[in-house]
Amino acid sequence: MPILDFLLPKNAKKQKVILLGSGALSIGQAGEFDYSGSQAVKALEEEGLEVTIINPNIASVQTNKGLNKRVYLYPITPFWVEKIIKIEKPTAIISSFGGQTSLNCVIGLAKKGILDKYSVKVLGTQVDALEISEDRKLFAEKMKSINAPIAESHAVSTVSEALKTAEKIGYPVITRSAFALGGLGSGLSETATELRKLTQTALMSSPQVLIEKSLHGWKEIEYEVMRDKSGNTITICNMENFDPMGIHTGDSVVVAPCQTINNIENNMLRDTAIKIAQSLDIVGECNVQYALNPKDYSFYVIEINARLSRSSALASKATGYPIAYIAAKIVIGFDLLELKNPVTGTTSAFYEPSLDYVTLKVPRWDLDKFSEVSKNLGTQMKSVGEVMAIGRSFCEVLQKALRMVNENEDGITVNVFKNTSDEILEKELLTPTNLRIFAIYETFKRGKTLDYVYEKTKIDYWFLSHVLYLANVETELLDFFKPKVKKDNITAQEIYNSYKLITKDKLQRLKSKGFSDFQLTKIYLSACLNSKIKLTIKEVRSLSFSIRELRKKLGILPFVKQIDTTSSEYPTKSNYLYLTYNSIHSDLFTKKNEKSIITLGSGSYRIGSSLEFDWCSVMASGYFKNKKNDSVIINCNPETVSTDYNASDRLYFEELSFERVLDIVDIEDPKGVIACMGGQNPNNLIQPLSEAKVNILGHSQKSVDKAEDREKFSAMLDDLGIDQPEWISAVSLSDIEGFIKRVGFPVLIRPSFVLSGTLMNAANDQESLDYYLSLTKDISADSPVVISKFILDAKEIECDGIAKDGEVILSLISEHIENAGVHSGDATMVFPAQKIYVHTVNVIRDIVREITKGLNLNGPFNIQFIAKDNDVKVIECNARASRSFPFISKVSGINLAELACKVMNDEKVKKILIDESEIHHIGVKASMFSFQRLDGADPVVGVEMASTGEVGCLGEKFNHALLLSMESTQVKRPKKGILLSTGREKDKVKFMEVVDNLYKLAVPIYATKGSAKYLKSRGYEVNTVHWNRSPRAVDVISGGKVDFVININKNLSVDELHDNSEIRKMAVKCGCSILTNLEKVIAYLKACDSYEELQDIENCISL
């Protein structure tokens, strides 16, 4: 019997298994666990088990309701899991599909004896092995016992021990902290001073720090291992980091399979990986990381993860082998031999995939969103997302991946370092940042050698030689096209003729090396067009169409290949596809009779576009898959559920670029394309695709344009008599002056798009306005600055809904806890809204009706409002599915994404009238910030979005939902003490509303001077702290006297922000809970009244 005895149905009743999720997305723990968890749920349900999911991440696919599934949106802590165990009485718990969070939780449950108490068995790898894998000292001992080499390393728990150890093993040394995800508190120290600083920080969040010999310049290599209870073991995939040791794997460019190691090295590392899995009695999946000496055959084991990981998700997508799905079958008792390889359907799951293509992962950083954060990469992970490219040459995947990750179409030829001096360029090579690959490219373009770049970067010659090759190609093309005199105007015909001159063979070669039509056009333009003339992306794109025409005429087209795990050794029906120019023949794949519907996914996760848009894409593709339509997905993000080939009838793991989507449209000849479910990234393609005569389902291009074009939208609102905050699009400083004179401060400043993304700021006075304007390059007709009136003390309200032919089908209203001014992606959202006047609701519904009519919307939308008293203004309208769709859907019980698909598919839908007051529970969506990973970032929330993830919790009372969502986003009830600074006089007064709640928490209160004085004058006892003299505010934090920091800005002036930022940064460094928004503080402190009541609750709410 494959399935374990105790999991078999008892008295015809299915057995229950708890599966822990990973909570909110944060740096180091992102969407990959929704993919793993969703696959596990499928695998478990197939075997007749009932799954209980505990995960507050409401935007995840795994927290969707299901037939054999119960979903609890609760914090993943032993306390809450125990409560749910009491309710559900599960037979077993699975820890390995929810990242570090779930692993730590299960270790906690075991240590507290909770699992024994309720006889809940841990499935898969057992807790003692998990502990060995997590405790670096135990791990080192284990590795020694099986003769697996590990770098000389020592666990220390004090700074002086650390210094002594470093003396012994010699600098440079690496410090790593135990029990931490994403390498938190890790770093390289070249000197004792650096080490002292680093260990001090690390020891604050971890009891143990490891000091290791630095392996700078060694190759970093990983193996994914699968092992069943009988000991059958395979390695699914190996992966190699483009960047050598020293940069966190999560921040490294990663190639799979390994490219620069030979058969001897491969099997040496593979053998060790299998030996390690055996020694720890792994049942399921584990990942082993190595450092490999580039100069001889020596190596070290760096660490293992005895669970599914970011790398295992990547390996699944790279090979097609569904690691999490198979691992889930294994943990419930199957042997690998009892399972089939799901990709072939006929061969054994005991199989190591063979690839006939190469994949490349490139991380996505959003460091520009944080003004003060260091851009340097090191052993602490900073990236917020990733993409993966598949192709048949390294140049092809490198180019594809670099285009995928930055949603502009420039890729490696973007020329960010064109005007950089040689000295600075050299520094970029020596000190890696998120832009190093572009610096390498530029260095080669300036004629430097492979040896030169290798010496600076230690990146393997093999990788570098491909970058060099591409740089040479560009240089050569520039030479080839170079005219005698540059022109002021270039026509499409000229580009067509010039590339025709290159000859078919060479153009084919350029395409097979990954150059896009857009890039080729840009190269031509930079060779021939007067450099003073700047063309917009739209103009370049339109010129690039000439190369597409030329290619089609010459028959230079990409071909479709399947990912089949066997390199074609066996025939396959695989629906997992990619496109390549290194081919002359497409693999055959089956289509349904109906024409296909293509859903465009969201691309890389990033700040502002994350899991929630993958949820929307998965819902859309699932909807069409279940209908008789042929459902197709295009996406390039390996962390997602949408790139699980089960989510659609066909998955193109491809670029979401104009060129590539058109290629796929040419191949598919679809009924239509859905671009409004994957967030802004695919939404931006609506205009060019419509112009290329592609049928876009849902809103027309005209509607989208009218909603997105500020001028047009604003004019429409004026026509309809709908109020909006005053704004101008300033093309000169005098424009701005005039505007300020008219409306006064504060104002919002939004510069035009720059490569790094927008930097939006709020200015309170002339000084801060000048400062923020100085950050933007120039103000001109080409790059205007949008300035709008910033309305203080106003509520922000959102309406999510669906419209059909301009008529509202459904609209649901939610409110923010924070006043307007906090980006809607960072704000805490309440649904159904609790504190809006009935009149306001009515006004909003009227406005929604008029806007949908005015824009003639036909699909999903989201409209944002601000309301002060009964005065309602419209901020913006998104003619697409919004970030809050999964939250609103799950709380209301109406699946907005599916409803949107019905409308877009032209099916009959009835108007849904819903009385929001009849929704039983209150949902609170809160944002998760990853400031702890971003050294130097100021953890203040404002108009620019900074959060990396979100949770949504339910409660019968608002207070309960709020407390749960706060706990799930690491805002924990204070235990040691609170540091207070309450901002403006007005805020101090307002704060008095909750001051008694604060003191009820019964912990010492510290306050900065002004706040302390205010409290004392009203008879409250408080410890005063100072900026510059003892007791200093920052010392109180670093000394561990407080674990909760409330820090409200006085105003938006630059100085004020700087002063307080020291406190906030220290709070983040020391792992304190931190709140910086007054309304949120008030709501939280009020909710704390219900803390005991919530703790005593017996009935947790399930979906």
Q: Which stretch binds another protein (CB under 8 A): 148-156, 255-263, 733-741, 1054-1062?
A: 255-263
Q: Which stretch binds another protein (CB under 8 A): 466-474, 518-526, 847-855, 856-864?
A: 466-474
Question: How far, rounded to the nearest angstrom, does the alpha carbon of residue 79 sit from its chain's CA centroid?
Answer: 28
- Shortest distance in whole angstroms from residue 267 CB to another protein: 5
Establish if 236 lies at the interface with another protein (CB under 8 A): no
Contacts of residue 601, defined as CB under 8 A and 6 or more positions apart, other chains included, come to 613, 614, 617, 633, 634, 635, 636, 637, 640, 642, 643, 656, 678, 682
- Shortest distance in whole angstroms from residue 299 CB to another protein: 12
CA 432 – CA 983 distance, rounded (Å)? 39
CA distances from 263 to 83, 268, 269, 270, 383 (A): 51, 8, 10, 10, 32
CA 464 – CA 451 distance, rounded (Å)? 10
- Shortest distance in whole angstroms from residue 314 CB to another protein: 17
Binding residues among 635-674 for another protein as defined by CB under 8 A: none
- Shortest distance in whole angstroms from residue 480 CB to another protein: 6
873 and 789 Cβ atoms separated by less than 8 Å: no
CA 895 – CA 1028 distance, rounded (Å)? 54
Establish if 558 lies at the interface with another protein (CB under 8 A): no
Establish if 450 lies at the interface with another protein (CB under 8 A): yes
Binding residues among 284-343 for another protein as defined by CB under 8 A: 294-297, 336-337
* List 468, 527, 769, 1068, residue binding another protein (CB under 8 A): 468
Establish if 473 lies at the interface with another protein (CB under 8 A): yes
Establish if 394 lies at the interface with another protein (CB under 8 A): yes
Q: Which is nearer to another protein, 459 or 749 (CB)?
A: 459
Establish if 850 lies at the interface with another protein (CB under 8 A): no
Q: Which is nearer to another protein, 395 or 953 (CB)?
A: 395
Read off the tokens for 575. 């629906």
Read off the tokens for 993. 């509303």
Contacts of residue 465, defined as CB under 8 A and 6 or more positions apart, other chains included, come to 450
Contacts of residue 855, defined as CB under 8 A and 6 or more positions apart, other chains included, come to 699, 703, 706, 707, 716, 806, 877, 879
Establish if 257 lies at the interface with another protein (CB under 8 A): yes
Q: Which is nearer to another protein, 550 or 830 (CB)?
A: 550
Beta bridge partners of 235: 225
Minimal CA–CA distance to 888: which of 919, 851, 853? Answer: 919
288 and 278 Cβ atoms separated by less than 8 Å: no
Whether a cis peptide bond, with omega within 30° of 0, leads into 149 is no
Q: Which is nearer to another protein, 465 or 997 (CB)?
A: 465
Establish if 462 lies at the interface with another protein (CB under 8 A): yes
Q: For another protein, how many residues bind (rule: CB under 8 A)?
A: 70
Read off the tokens for 867. 């309301």
Question: How far, rounded to the nearest angstrom, does the alpha carbon of residue 177 sit from its chain's CA centroid?
Answer: 24
Q: Which is nearer to another protein, 556 or 803 (CB)?
A: 556
* List 502, 554, 692, 759, residue binding another protein (CB under 8 A): 502
- Shortest distance in whole angstroms from residue 633 CB to another protein: 22
Establish if 571 lies at the interface with another protein (CB under 8 A): yes
CA 56 – CA 23 distance, rounded (Å)? 5
Collapsing DSSP to helix, strand or coil, 1100 comes out as: coil
Binding residues among 735-774 for another protein as defined by CB under 8 A: none
Q: Which stretch binds another protein (CB under 8 A): 310-318, 577-585, 974-982, 1066-1074?
A: 577-585
Establish if 274 lies at the interface with another protein (CB under 8 A): yes
973 and 1001 Cβ atoms separated by less than 8 Å: yes
* List 68, 126, 260, 701, residue binding another protein (CB under 8 A): 260
- Shortest distance in whole angstroms from residue 510 CB to another protein: 7
- Shortest distance in whole angstroms from residue 685 CB to another protein: 29
CA 251 – CA 379 distance, rounded (Å)? 9
Establish if 354 lies at the interface with another protein (CB under 8 A): yes
Establish if 12 lies at the interface with another protein (CB under 8 A): no
CA 339 – CA 848 distance, rounded (Å)? 53
Q: Which stretch binds another protein (CB under 8 A): 36-44, 502-510, 613-621, 716-724?
A: 502-510
At residue 1017's C-alpha, the angle toward residues 1015 and 1023, to 5°, is: 45
Beta bridge partners of 580: 559
CA distances from 567 to 22, 226, 392, 394, 930 (A): 34, 20, 12, 18, 40
* List 472, 497, 626, 842, residue binding another protein (CB under 8 A): 472
* List 262, 491, 732, 780, residue binding another protein (CB under 8 A): 262
* List 205, 266, 714, 758, residue binding another protein (CB under 8 A): 266
CA 1084 – CA 833 distance, rounded (Å)? 17
* List 1, 12, 67, 264, residue binding another protein (CB under 8 A): 264
Establish if 910 lies at the interface with another protein (CB under 8 A): no
* List 160, 408, 497, 568, residue binding another protein (CB under 8 A): 568
Establish if 232 lies at the interface with another protein (CB under 8 A): yes
Establish if 506 lies at the interface with another protein (CB under 8 A): yes
Establish if 1 lies at the interface with another protein (CB under 8 A): no
* List 229, 275, 375, 392, residue binding another protein (CB under 8 A): 392
Q: Which is nearer to another protein, 480 or 745 (CB)?
A: 480
Contacts of residue 993, defined as CB under 8 A and 6 or more positions apart, other chains included, come to 1082
648 and 621 Cβ atoms separated by less than 8 Å: yes
Establish if 254 lies at the interface with another protein (CB under 8 A): no
Beta bridge partners of 358: 391
> Which residues here bind another protein, judged by CB under 8 A?
230-232, 234, 257-264, 266-267, 270-271, 274, 294-297, 336-337, 346-348, 350-358, 392-394, 449-450, 460-462, 465, 468-469, 472-473, 476-477, 480, 502, 505-506, 509-510, 513, 559, 561, 566-571, 582-585, 587
